[in-house]
A and B are shown apart, each in its own frame.
Chain A
Amino acid sequence: MTTPVVQWGALAPDLILLGGAAVLLLVAVLFRDRTARDIAMLVGVGCFVGSAVAVTVIWDHGDGVRAVLDGQFVVDRFANAVRVIVAGSGLLTLMGAYGWARLREHGPEFVAFLLVAAAGMDLMAASNSFVSLFVSLETFSIALYALCAFDTKSSASLESGLKYLILGSIGSVVLVYGAAFLYGATGSFRFDEIAVGVAAEPESLLALAGLALVLGGLGFKIAVVPFHMWTPDVYEGAPTPVTAFMSAATKAAAFAVLVRVLVTAVPAMGDTWKPALAVAAIVTMLFANVVALRQTNVKRMLAYSSVGHAGYLLMALVSGQAGAKALLFYLAVYAATSVGAFTVVAIAERETGRAATIDSLRGWGFSRPVLGGALAIFLLSLAGFPPTAGFLAKLYLFAAAIDAGYTYLALVGVAATVISLGYYLRVGLALYDRRHESGSMLPSAPGTAWAGTCAALAAIVVLWLGIYPPDVLDWAGQAAASLIAAP
């Protein structure tokens, strides 16, 4: 028996996160209250920065593609790009959560859960087998269930955690069932070996059932219609910093692994899954954006908006290499926008002490010029207005879909974007409602300085990517090329 070979370098970005989580358990024991929180924040920021730095170090190793742990994982530039997006979302989330009262009691635990969730997402994006996929999926899911229920004094938070636990488990079960069918059809859990088996027998009914169930299970994680039902309730009830992280990082990791499954495990069944995803994209884009029109709670509205964005992103999955490039750029933009928007909502919640609704935000932009301006930028980016990054992200996505022959998807996407203006602009108009202008600037609520910085930083990122995107586009292009060969 040979000693197993572990590619420590390729796993370093994830091991840093997991090591940090282990250290935080000791911090939780050794220090108390605010000291513990501040040390935990420093450890968390250090780990996320360290993880991102480690990615830049290993970016070119092995020409950007390395099989890790006997082929259970493939660390390529695509996975590394997702790691950077996850680490960035984690950093912004930590900043945004800093002043949250709950962290004064359980700061180290919060950061530890966040680090474990991020490590699980990173590993899932690099999974090359259904076994490693499932293990990493559960690693981050269980951490997220706990994070959703983190505010144990709020029944909404507990309800959100329980709902996510039950529905998330069902999603996982469906995924595992699908993996079992694919194993039955091809005799392997490894994506590359499944691809060989499926190519030999593309008409296999067993493989078809497996593919359908896997798509259902992963569709649950990315929250596309009809697997989106949990999203509004969980997003609304979960503590807002957690919602911010979930919406940004989970989406990135789940879309990344979905792309990997589709292009490395079942490319031979493209004629089956491409039309299915196209239909799901159309239904998701239209349904989510129409339902979002009727929401008055801002978090719930942003939850439906997140479902809608998953619909746009489905377009990328059928659009080949250009689609994967657009997907990564879109995910990076969406992460900054979404964490920023939820952080501003969290600040508004802390100031008023209740859920943020469109009415509670009326005139808020006048008394909070920076935060109001940032939220307006995020809303414009979500709606896809230039010069924000949301415009370019949608532009590249729709262009990739048209080049791949899915012009009708791009048209539906444009129509859905027009519908989405209805609710994004409604919040924007409420922010600057002259009738509710208080005429004076309020002093900022205590403990929101870091959250405000987070929102400002996210707004700068959104504008920077919208005005000068070539660096990030080049990075996304390299990452996409490492996974999908050019046609």
Chain B
Amino acid sequence: MLGDWASLLIYLLFAALVAGTLLFASVALGTRGRREGRQKAYSFESGVSVGSFAPSNFSINYYLTAMLFIVFDIEIVYLYPLAVILEPLGVFGFVELCVFVAVLGLGYVYIWRKGALEWK
């Protein structure tokens, strides 16, 4: 009866285990958790203070890094549909995969050598 769904159940248990361990570890091992303060009352917004954010200047590096992340993130997502049909595609699919990754790598080398990954 469990059959096909066993893997999903194991997956869910494993996800709960990972998340639970991390939560427990931060409570048990954290040293700053007990202190109360104004910052702690704010909602978490990727490390950027929400109070004074909107009208002020902020470093262009946030923007650049985020953009590069999104570009590479989306490119990597394209590998998933390819992975699903890679076997029937055979050598053709593998060569296509290599070309795709090579082009991606070329882009990576470019942004790396041009210093776009440095936090200036």
A binding-site residues for B, Cβ under 8 Å: 1, 3-4, 22, 25-26, 28-29
Contacts and interface: CB of A to CB of B under 8 A. Distances in A.
Interface string B96-113: 000000010011011001
Which of B85, B110, B113 counts the most A-chain CB atoms under 10 A from its CB?
B110
A4 B92 contact: yes
A29 B113 contact: yes
B120 interface: no
Nearest to A22: B106
B64 interface: no
B115 to A, nearest CB: 11
Given A3-B90, A3-B92, A29 B110 contact: yes
Nearest to B110: A25
A29 B103 contact: no
17 contacts: A1-B88, A3-B90, A3-B92, A4-B89, A22-B103, A22-B106, A25-B106, A25-B107, A25-B109, A26-B106, A26-B109, A26-B110, A28-B110, A28-B114, A29-B110, A29-B113, A29-B114
B87 to A, nearest CB: 9
Contacts, number: 23
A4 B114 CA distance: 37
B83 to A, nearest CB: 15
Nearest to B93: A3
Contacts of B85: 1
Top-5 shortest CB links A-B: A1-B88, A29-B113, A25-B110, A3-B92, A25-B106
Contact of B89 (A3, A25, A26): A3
Given A29-B113, A29-B114, A1 B106 contact: no
A307 B33 CA distance: 65
Nearest to A4: B92
Contacts of A3: 89-90, 92
Contacts of A22: 103, 106
Contacts of B89: 1, 3-4
A4 B103 CA distance: 20
A22 B106 CA distance: 7
Contacts of B114: 28-29
A24 to B, nearest CB: 10
A206 to B, nearest CB: 30
Contacts of A1: 85, 88-89
A196 to B, nearest CB: 29
Contacts of A25: 106-107, 109-110
A3 B86 CA distance: 11
A22 B113 CA distance: 15
Contacts of B103: 22
B98 to A, nearest CB: 14
A3 B114 CA distance: 39
Contacts of B107: 25
Nearest to B88: A1
Interface in B20-66: none
A26 B88 CA distance: 34
A3 B88 CA distance: 8
B96 to A, nearest CB: 9
B54 to A, nearest CB: 21
Contacts of A26: 106, 109-110
B76 to A, nearest CB: 19
A410 to B, nearest CB: 49
